[in-house]
Structure 1
């Protein structure tokens, strides 16, 4: 038996050896991809047509295609801004073929609509559409742009734009809503000055949606009105969605962490047709998370499909849909004892267990680009945003409770209740012609365009509001308490007015957060709308190139119409218009260093709701201008970019509340000036970095009467900065591991004009560990490592927005 067993083993071994020799030894194709100047074309695409197999070059333009059977193949190499190259090759069994490609730059191949996805895979982005309406190299744009790529967003483990903006110089949170400050000027989700893929849109403001469908987030600094119509003078925030790729890439990730966080994300992309004329991408996100804030939670579902149709090399069509369903509670912030910042925990919330906020948002985008000739093209894009809100909230009435003498009770917050339903619909059409012409040694890239935007708040949007103090008959309420007329109020046994909605007791928050009997409040009804506005804009722009000098010149005429008393017999059109110039110069000192200067004007009309004479109106539109000088450079063979900017922004006619009244007044002038530095990219192929610093002086320079003043603007730190770096270990026992670390800081900020209430500056430390082998990855992010108590913003000590204490997020991912 032993002999038979040995014979069987020997036969098996012999068969295995024979089978091994019978197996074909597969070969490989490797090499580099560069441009005519010898510079590597990082992340260019290399694809074997017959095998439907491809890869991307690394930062140095190197690529390798392994496991290729013998045969004859067509290899296609492509890169945005360059002519694609095809090469027919024959590969012998086991052969290791070395093949280099040199691609010719093709300016006419640059996109006028961002249709095909970005293939770069690091913290650096070389081109943008937000600064010139068509694709332009950031080095050639005479204006500062800060950005964060999807790779940086993923490495930091963040999922909200408010968390992303800490990476940008001169940008900080104002609240933890969709609400930020850019160079000292406020931009929020309801202002309709935010962009999605360069088109005007809006969000629900209260809650920030998941960012899993975003390719990058970018901020064009300074007034952008000459390009996009009315906008904040500080800058415009643009969310760029992930677009389909012409190669198959799929990924799944699951996250869990602090505050019972559960998150699942999926990203699928690739060609739908063999000739790659039809491409798709599908991003799906699910989140169920609580918060360090009491009673707060978020349940989100995001579905974001995208389809690109490229029937010819002259025509491109793209369709995008973003659908977001959000269920949560509205968090109005932390309240403290009067003038005592540290008197309550940062977890304290004024919400009640009854409260809810249900939001639903869809954004549909359709874009078409057609090239009639190599020098003449047409682009048009349409975006529609729909938003619905269903809200019930207990919130502070922006005041402390008062006793019978009208004096503040320092540990009780006056409360109010909102029940609200409303919808908003926003439409934006952008269309332009692009013509390129050479006149002698000067080249022109001319754009002639037209924009249309409108927003409607339809009939039926309304709110029930309960607030104030009960009247003496206890059958209604009075909004404010007047101790000189105390007989008009219902008083308790201590002679204090009885609130319509019970006060929030800061000394017993748990009792104040219990379920409330909503039927016991006295309500007043308030209508929201119907409202309607539209705007029309016509503009012309020329990007002139003469040797090392480039000039961007633009002029826009914008007409804004707002309907006062919309859909009623008293309907009246309120019209405002502006003529907006823009001029910028860029000079290339070397291939790696550009200097630039720009002057641009902006405006923002005051809406018809502010034309009410009872508020002090009508008011003139906001007007602004900016002067900016700076330099842009690239280092380490193009792997690292840096921007330095000096700027001064002046805005006139800003509205502020008159103290102690509901009236508004226009102050004379605001000014913001400062210095900014941004660095993004890689020092080595396995070492990524992003860093920023900003110094800003932002204040009200002239009051309503034109008198000089030195008042600092709210929530605008003088100094802020950020550093984040990731290092991947390639050799040794820790091979396939990576580490990430960073810090961000802001200095002290004032909360209100003419107020001594401030929030302190802070420095946070964040860290991450990564492990990746083949297609599997695991990532651990630890944020606020030293557990620093801090506030990201606020209005006053009744409405503070604390930052998150120490927290962690564990993510497991798989790519295929």
Structure 2
């Protein structure tokens, strides 16, 4: 019996081996190689050419000490040659040539990965069982820029070309090349920012991340890649908005030990550190771990603004049996910064001239002692069991606990003298709890020429929010051009102990039942059918005795509602590299909170129509997507005209239409690129008289991105990489009334790095030409973007 164990690991991170052995005469050949995407391998495509059996493994990269091919002659009777070859576009080809006839193969999935069982052929095709060859493929894959499969669109590992909806994947390689430190920086690489003019839901490994993304900002320390599904996806995610789903796929334990330490120093006293550890905890590798630790202590170009973050992400994986795996996950994240409501600057002196002069972009209109703190704790598990090759069960639980506090002075208005800013004191506390349980059954059924990939699921979710606020009733003025700040003692005398005068408790219980069927009709047609029934129970309770200015409810408000969210899509593939598709879907997004009159918010609903084409060029090394869509959203939020700083209203209907184009790939050896363009026409179709018919605020008509990196592949400078990117955001309204416009801007970023053995040294420059730009409306005006920023990084792996 001949056994070939093929372990595919991260490039430049750990060694593995290729074992070619018979029971009577074993031999071992040591190699190093890697994969290009996560550790979920697609089933190899096999074909017979002459006496050779060819198996092509997608999303894999072979990294040998020399060259890109390994072979061994006559490893067993009946087999003349076994060879493994690295191919372009992240493929590995395994070729097994028979002596007298082509071998036969059977592909199956086992706990350690994919197993290719090969029987040497004979002239009579009568090989014996003991002559079987096995190729076992395991391990994690390191991503390039091209990713063929994604899980977000269908909750299964599905080729992107088979999904009748626009989906983009930002792999770890892009995040590393750009040294991105926030989700917003990552989403610059997605056409239109991945929202299509509306809010997007943020998920972690397919589970709702938090009740309030403002209170719980994602940390990228344990993120392997980011998948962005454009448009409604309530059929699978329930709470996702019509703008899309952003799914953070996290790093999972590996069988082969891997240790990485990374440090970064940057402009404005920016210091970061990251540790990534993984490997087995026992001899038979049935217990694996992964631990990511991140720390950041940074200043800012804005006076008195600093930030401190600490995060720990432990993961334990247990192989409970041949077909059963259990993963325990947890996280602790702490962030401390300043009260962000005072970070913005007035429009006079920034985008509009101020007779007194230009306001420095470093000006801070709050108080140095102000603070904003959040602590988040997550715990959960994932249980997966395969009943057979065709049927599997998944069960997942996740609990999230967030404590949030915010205190300081707001910047509420600019006086007529064009220099005095008035702001009121504000102090708030919030506690959030989120419990999610998901159970899914997956199966494959064949009926004639139609293959059915089935998914049936049940999701139970409980969300609790406790909000408390205090308004000390004190305002203070600050000079825009010559600010004087309160001393620490004066600040403490104003705020003192927290004594809330306003607050509410919210609870939301959701039951979701969903089903999906991906039908493959022959080789050219895919039909995606899905539906979800959601039942919600929402309760809002005022706190007796509170008399603060935003306490408008002292009793209870209860809402019970339900909705059915369908999705239908068709993909037609006239030739292998081209997919033509169309789809229709709806969304249902429960809300918590009340309006100024104490009425609970009702769910937001949405509907999308989309058509598009996906194609591949250069033998799959370059992939492109072109899509056109229309989204209609009901019960959307706008600032309350009476009290825009504290309350929102649900105005009726908004509509977004657009065209998107994106391209990603590696067209030449060493050249990686990702680019996109989005045209978005987003208007308020129904609302209050002052906003109806207006463009939606902070939604540009035109947005584009281009990022490219070239790494030298051989010679004395092998491992040296150079890259640059352009990020364009067009003009967009600054408010719903369209009273002012945020100007367009073009950012230029650059990177240079050098990889050698286990070391990586990297220098990133953002906003290379030090452009002054404004990212969004904030407070009484606009939020200023970062000026020229330089960051240096050193990383080493063991």
TM-score range with shorter-chain normalisation? 0.7 to 0.9
The one of 513, 526, 530 equivalent to 1:550 is 526
Match of 2:74 in 1: none
Higher mean C-alpha displacement, 126-135 vs 78-87: 78-87
- Listed one character per residue, the Cα deviations across residues 346-378 of structure 1 (whole Å, up to 9, x for unaligned) are 211222122222221112231111112222221
Match of 1:19 in 2: none
Match of 1:489 in 2: none
* 2:311 corresponds to 1:302: yes
Match of 2:510 in 1: 535
Corresponding residue SS for 1:589 = coil
The one of 615, 637, 647 equivalent to 1:655 is 637
Q: Distance in 1 between matches of 2:715 and 2:346?
A: 53
Instruction: Determine if contact 2:456/2:516 at 8 Å carries over to the other structure.
Output: yes
Unaligned residue ranges in structure 2 (runs of 5+): 1-27, 36-43, 48-53, 65-69, 71-83, 95-106, 120-131, 353-357, 545-553
- Listed one character per residue, the Cα deviations across residues 224-246 of structure 1 (whole Å, up to 9, x for unaligned) are 11111132111121111111123
* 2:72 corresponds to 1:41: no
Q: Distance in 2 between matches of 1:138 and 1:103?
A: 29
Higher mean C-alpha displacement, 747-756 vs 331-340: 331-340
Q: Distance in 2 between matches of 1:61 and 1:128?
A: 17
Corresponding residue SS for 2:620 = coil
Higher mean C-alpha displacement, 246-255 vs 709-718: 246-255
TM-score (structure 2 length as normaliser): 0.80
- Listed one character per residue, the Cα deviations across residues 101-156 of structure 1 (whole Å, up to 9, x for unaligned) are 99999xxx9xxxxxx97513212222222111222121111111122111110110
Match of 1:463 in 2: 469
Match of 2:99 in 1: none
Match of 2:796 in 1: 814
Go from structure 1 to structure 2 and tell me whether the alpha carbon gap of 1:664 and 1:783 turns closer, same or farther (over 3 Å shift): closer
* 2:156 corresponds to 1:134: yes
Q: Distance in 2 between matches of 1:514 and 1:800?
A: 28
Instruction: Determine if contact 1:256/1:810 at 8 Å carries over to the other structure.
Output: yes
Deviation at 1:517, TM superposition (A): 3.6
Please provide the CA RMSD for this pair: 3.5
The one of 128, 144, 163 equivalent to 2:166 is 144
Q: Distance in 2 between matches of 1:79 and 1:46?
A: 24
The one of 735, 746, 750 equivalent to 1:763 is 746
Q: Distance in 2 between matches of 1:715 and 1:248?
A: 46
Go from structure 1 to structure 2 and tell me whether the alpha carbon gap of 1:56 and 1:308 turns closer, same or farther (over 3 Å shift): farther
- Listed one character per residue, the Cα deviations across residues 649-707 of structure 1 (whole Å, up to 9, x for unaligned) are 011222334533567654342111111112223123311111111111111123358x9
Match of 2:196 in 1: 183
Q: Distance in 1 between matches of 2:233 and 2:640?
A: 29
Deviation at 1:299, TM superposition (A): 1.3
* 2:517 corresponds to 1:503: no
Instruction: Determine if contact 2:59/2:148 at 8 Å carries over to the other structure.
Output: no
Go from structure 1 to structure 2 and tell me whether the alpha carbon gap of 1:140 and 1:521 turns closer, same or farther (over 3 Å shift): closer
Match of 1:168 in 2: 190
Corresponding residue SS for 1:219 = strand
Corresponding residue SS for 1:84 = strand
Q: Distance in 1 between matches of 2:499 and 2:698?
A: 33
Q: Distance in 2 between matches of 1:646 and 1:245?
A: 40
Q: Distance in 2 between matches of 1:679 and 1:80?
A: 35
1:143-542 equivalent positions in 2, closer than 5 A: 143-171=165-193, 182-187=195-200, 193-202=201-210, 205=214, 208-332=217-341, 333-336=343-346, 338=348, 341=351, 343-397=358-412, 399-401=413-415, 408-458=416-466, 461-467=467-473, 500-511=474-485, 516-520=490-494, 525-542=500-517
Instruction: Determine if contact 2:32/2:63 at 8 Å carries over to the other structure.
Output: no
Instruction: Determine if contact 1:150/1:216 at 8 Å carries over to the other structure.
Output: yes
Match of 1:83 in 2: 114
Go from structure 1 to structure 2 and tell me whether the alpha carbon gap of 1:517 and 1:251 turns closer, same or farther (over 3 Å shift): closer
Match of 1:736 in 2: 719
Instruction: Determine if contact 1:712/1:753 at 8 Å carries over to the other structure.
Output: yes
- Listed one character per residue, the Cα deviations across residues 567-593 of structure 1 (whole Å, up to 9, x for unaligned) are 989444311211111101112222221
Deviation at 1:775, TM superposition (A): 0.9
**Alignment size in residue pairs:** 695
The one of 644, 652, 675 equivalent to 2:659 is 675
Q: Distance in 1 between matches of 2:317 and 2:246?
A: 24
- Listed one character per residue, the Cα deviations across residues 464-491 of structure 1 (whole Å, up to 9, x for unaligned) are 2234xxxxxxxxxxxxxxxxxxxxxxxx
Deviation at 1:516, TM superposition (A): 3.4
Deviation at 1:772, TM superposition (A): 1.3
Go from structure 1 to structure 2 and tell me whether the alpha carbon gap of 1:56 and 1:290 turns closer, same or farther (over 3 Å shift): farther
Go from structure 1 to structure 2 and tell me whether the alpha carbon gap of 1:395 and 1:703 turns closer, same or farther (over 3 Å shift): closer
- Listed one character per residue, the Cα deviations across residues 742-767 of structure 1 (whole Å, up to 9, x for unaligned) are 11101011111123211111001111
Q: Distance in 1 between matches of 2:325 and 2:515?
A: 23
Q: Distance in 2 between matches of 1:657 and 1:254?
A: 42
* 2:659 corresponds to 1:685: no
Deviation at 1:161, TM superposition (A): 0.5
Corresponding residue SS for 1:516 = helix
Q: Distance in 1 between matches of 2:439 and 2:781?
A: 42
Corresponding residue SS for 2:175 = helix
Match of 1:475 in 2: none
Unaligned residue ranges in structure 1 (runs of 5+): 1-25, 49-54, 65-75, 89-100, 110-115, 173-181, 188-192, 402-407, 468-499
- Listed one character per residue, the Cα deviations across residues 520-576 of structure 1 (whole Å, up to 9, x for unaligned) are 579984333322111111111111111111111011110111112279894443112
Deviation at 1:620, TM superposition (A): 4.8
Instruction: Determine if contact 2:347/2:782 at 8 Å carries over to the other structure.
Output: no
Instruction: Determine if contact 1:35/1:102 at 8 Å carries over to the other structure.
Output: no
Q: Distance in 2 between matches of 1:297 and 1:133?
A: 39
Corresponding residue SS for 1:717 = coil
